[in-house]
Homo-oligomer: A and B are copies of this chain.
Amino acid sequence: MKFCSACGAGVALRIPDGDALPRFVCEACGTIHYQNPKMVVGALAVWEDRILLCRRAIEPRHGLWTLPAGFMENDETTGQAAIRETMEEACARIELTELYTLVNVPHISQVHMLYRARLLDVDFAPGPESLEVALMREDEIPWDEIAFRSIALTLRHFFADRREGHFRFRVADLPPPPAA
């Protein structure tokens, strides 16, 4: 951020009076431009014993597999975001079961939330951000080709909880990834 989005003047990074953290502050009109974490919301949708996965057609992680998920928009709920993203990425209709995982990813200022859901029919297809959409059994999951750690964590908890016959809401914090 270099310019004030309200008046177009230059901004400076400084700690405003009464605040504890540096913010982008407009030198001309005084507007303080706060920056906050973003939510990424999606769904683990089940059809019989299979899970709906998408292969990514976009960066980051082009070509890798994920659960349908994306940035939550203004004016919607987390549940609406999960349903919308599943429609956009997999052209699939779902009914939400419950919020299942909340994963903090502080080094990129994101919070990921995945719902358990029921796939309502098998008329799915890749949306513009997916190369391929597939229903996979546990032994078909390409564990070495999962795009994001929050998604792998959600899938692992799901299969473990399904074996135990009891699903429970999970909160997890991811550390920065090891250097390449």
- Chain A positions near chain B (C-beta within 8 angstroms): 1-8, 10-11, 18, 20-21, 24, 33-39, 71-80, 88, 98-99, 102, 104, 106-107, 109, 111, 128, 169, 171, 173
Contact = CB atoms under 8 A, between A and B. Distances in A.
Given A75-B106, A104-B77, A171-B78, A39 B1 contact: no
A137 to B, nearest CB: 29
- One complex includes copies of this chain to the number of 2
Contacts of A5: 1-5, 11, 24, 33
B6 A3 contact: yes
Given A3-B8, A6-B1, A8-B2, A106 B77 contact: yes
A162 B162 CA distance: 29
